[in-house]
Amino acid sequence: MKRWFGLILAIALWFSLVPNALAANTTLVPCKDSSAFLNRQKKAPDSYYFRQPYQAYSEYLVCGEDGLPHLPLDRLDRAVDVAIPIGLFLYIAGFIGWSGRSYLIAARKTSNPEEKEIFIDIGLAIQSLAKGLFWPVAALNELISGKLTSKEKDIYVSPR
């Protein structure tokens, strides 16, 4: 009991007394203060399609020495700007791969699997796409059960 109390006390003190140390980004400045960005803005054609983005960039973004807007990832509020597209990309790529994998596995169990690979069976494809929607759960389930990976003895190694 004393050990748990000591651990909880140490954690509480650690989070309450130690200040957060965030690295300050010294190379990026607000775009409205960047001379290279303002130079680019002056050289841009005077039309709606150039004026509106430059106004938004100067208000909300930070620019580098090249005068181009950059996305700093030194703060957690900006990390979401990158984490969401990366997460969507990984989910969609996994969905496509898992759907194709489940289609090929299901086609292999039919009497003529080569024909199913050349001529897509729509019913089987829709079933595979439905299975692909929950691919993270299915992949984790197969990884835990050992069905997703091959055993060491089944992997052929060249004798060279």
pLDDT classification of 39: cutoffs 50, 70, 90:
very high
**68-88, pLDDT tens digit by residue?**
988 777 667 667 778 889 999
The residue with tokens 């989910």 is: 91
Q: Quick one: pLDDT at residue 20?
A: 60
What is the Cα Rg of the chain in Å?
27
Cα 50 to Cα 148: distance, rounded to the nearest angstrom:
51
* 104-111, long-range: CB < 8 A, 24+ apart: none
Secondary structure letter of residue 133 according to DSSP: T
Cβ 57 vs Cβ 31: under 8 Å: yes
Q: Is 67 left (phi over 0), alpha (psi -120 to 50) or beta?
A: left
Task: Pull the structure tokens for residue 25.
Answer: 């980004």
pLDDT classification of 47: cutoffs 50, 70, 90:
confident
**95-140, pLDDT tens digit by residue?**
999 999 999 999 999 999 999 999 999 999 999 999 999 999 999 9
Domains of the chain with CATH codes: 29-70 (no CATH), 76-148 (1.10.8.110)
